[in-house]
Amino acid sequence: MAGIYIHIPFCKQACHYCNFYFTTNLKNVEASVHSMRRELKIRKEYLGKQTISTIYFGGGTPSMLHPSQIQQLIETVREHYLLEEHVEITLEANPDNLDATYLKELADTEVNRFSIGIQSFNDAELKWMNRAHNQQEALECLDLCRDFGYSNFSIDLIFGIPISNTDIWTSNLNQALRLKPHHISCYALTVEENTALDHFVKAGKTPAVVDKDQREQFYLGHDILEAHGYDHYEISNYALQGHASKHNSSYWEGVHYLGIGPGAHSYNGISRSWNVAHLIQYMKAIEENRLPLESEILDLKDQYNEWVMTSIRKKVGIDISLLGEMFSVFKSHFYNMLEEIPSSYIVRDSKGIRLSKEGMIFADFVGSALFKTD
């Protein structure tokens, strides 16, 4: 099985923290859809004979597309790829886009799952992030989704916001629980280079992220959501039974995927490639029947490091039997480096190792400590 990711780069306005490729210039929406359909055709051999189990529209803001354009892209996938019978088709969306008219038209598409960028139910936080919606729109859009038969949705929340506090984060979690989504993603706010937030922090216009506050709120989210039946199956993701994201889970399982659109990444086990993160350059290359991408071949060391970093993020952790099957040459290195990691960060058993509750916040540290670097 394999997945297809389609990057829709259009946004109504720029969120201060975002470092994904996006544009607020909407004049090329139709032309970009045409280019992405062409790229799907050009790259139809990339995944070989693997069947497609997931299609994910990410961004940017995919809900900036008209539903008919979304369906055109899905139909192009169907035309050139072999799809499994029950394909998970996820659309990332913002609350301000999901009104009754849009949802009614979307019902004519094959989209069967939403990932909704709520981020917060607090208007002060939303304004600070420069989100295009408010609390009321967030609440109304979730009710509308259910009214139109979309019960399978995930909501995104951000914690560790400098102007916030634990009480507001608790309120956000409790509001989410009242809405009972099947899936909740909780992300720590990060200050990425060259974002508006980065400039604001450096200029002293907004306070910096406080690591201690982020850790406290991470553990609080873990405790509250697990107490309400959500499985913390990956560092940033929680799901009710049977509702883990198939697409995102495939990344952590090493499943191959094709990335379509400007800035999209692809992975086939032995190489990784990424499209140019510039819409006009992307469209020009595709129209000239050129692939606007760079790529790198992953040697065995790279593949091992990739496997460690994705595996450690999962609740089940690193399977020692798979380590022996796939990377036996690095097994002694793995165990040697394991001794350098604080014992409180990991849990060891006969099957392998996984992060402890304390260690979850240090996943990147644990993963990189196990890397093979020479």
CA 156, CA 134: separation in Å to the nearest integer?
14
Query: Which tens digit of pLDDT belongs to each residue from 164-194?
Result: 999 999 999 999 999 999 999 999 999 999 9
pTM above 0.85, yes or no: yes
Q: 22-30: long-range contacts (C-beta < 8 A, 24 or more apart)?
A: 22/59, 22/60, 22/61, 23/279, 26/64, 28/279, 28/280, 28/283, 29/64, 29/65, 29/69, 30/69
Distance of CA 331 to the CA centre of its chain: 30
List of E strands, the chain? 2-8, 52-59, 83-93, 113-119, 153-159, 183-188, 231-234, 237-239, 256-260, 265-267, 271-275, 293-297, 318-319, 346-348, 352-355
pLDDT of 374 above 90: no
**Spatial separation of the C-alpha atoms in residues 369 and 373, rounded to whole Å:** 10
pLDDT tens digits along 240-287: 999 999 999 999 999 999 999 999 999 999 999 999 999 999 999 999
Closest C-alpha to 51, from 89, 75, 87 = 87
What pLDDT digit, counting tens, does each position of 309-365 carry? 999 999 999 999 999 999 999 999 999 999 999 999 999 988 899 999 999 999 999
In whole angstroms, give the CA distance from residue 253 to residue 255.
Answer: 6
Rounded to whole angstroms, how far apart are CA atoms 214 and 161? 8
What pLDDT is recorded for position 37? 98
- The token duo for 12 is 């109504």
For residues 150-170, give the mean pLDDT. 96
The CA-based angle 263-266-271, given to 5 degrees, is 125
CATH number of 300-369: 1.10.10.920
Residues 6+ apart with CB under 8 A from 349: none
Inter-residue long-range contacts of 359-368, CB under 8 Å, 24+ positions, other chains counted:
360/218, 360/222, 360/232, 360/235, 361/214, 361/215, 361/218, 361/219, 363/235, 363/312, 363/313, 364/309, 366/312, 366/341, 367/308, 367/309, 367/312, 367/313, 368/309
Determine whether 115 is exposed, middle or buried from the number of CB atoms within 10 Å of its CB (0-12, 13-18, 19+): buried
pLDDT at 350: 87
Distances (CA, A) of 155 to 2, 37, 57, 180, 273: 24, 28, 15, 10, 29
Provide the edge-to-edge strand list for the sheet that holds 231-234.
Answer: 231-234, 237-239, 183-188, 153-159, 113-119, 83-93, 52-59, 2-8, 256-260, 265-267, 271-275, 293-297
- Residues 112-139 have pLDDT tens digits of 999 999 999 999 999 999 999 999 999 9
Q: Are 156 and 117 in contact (CB under 8 A)?
A: yes
Class level of CATH domain 2-252 = alpha beta
Percent above pLDDT 70 for the chain: 100
* Residues whose CB is less than 8 angstroms from the CB of residue 270 and which lie 6 or more positions away in sequence, other chains included: 297, 298, 303
The pLDDT tens digits for 307-320 are 999 999 999 999 99
Dihedral of alpha carbons 27, 110, 6, 367, sign: positive
Domain ranges of the chain: 2-252, 300-369
Q: pLDDT band at residue 34, thresholds of 50, 70 and 90?
A: very high
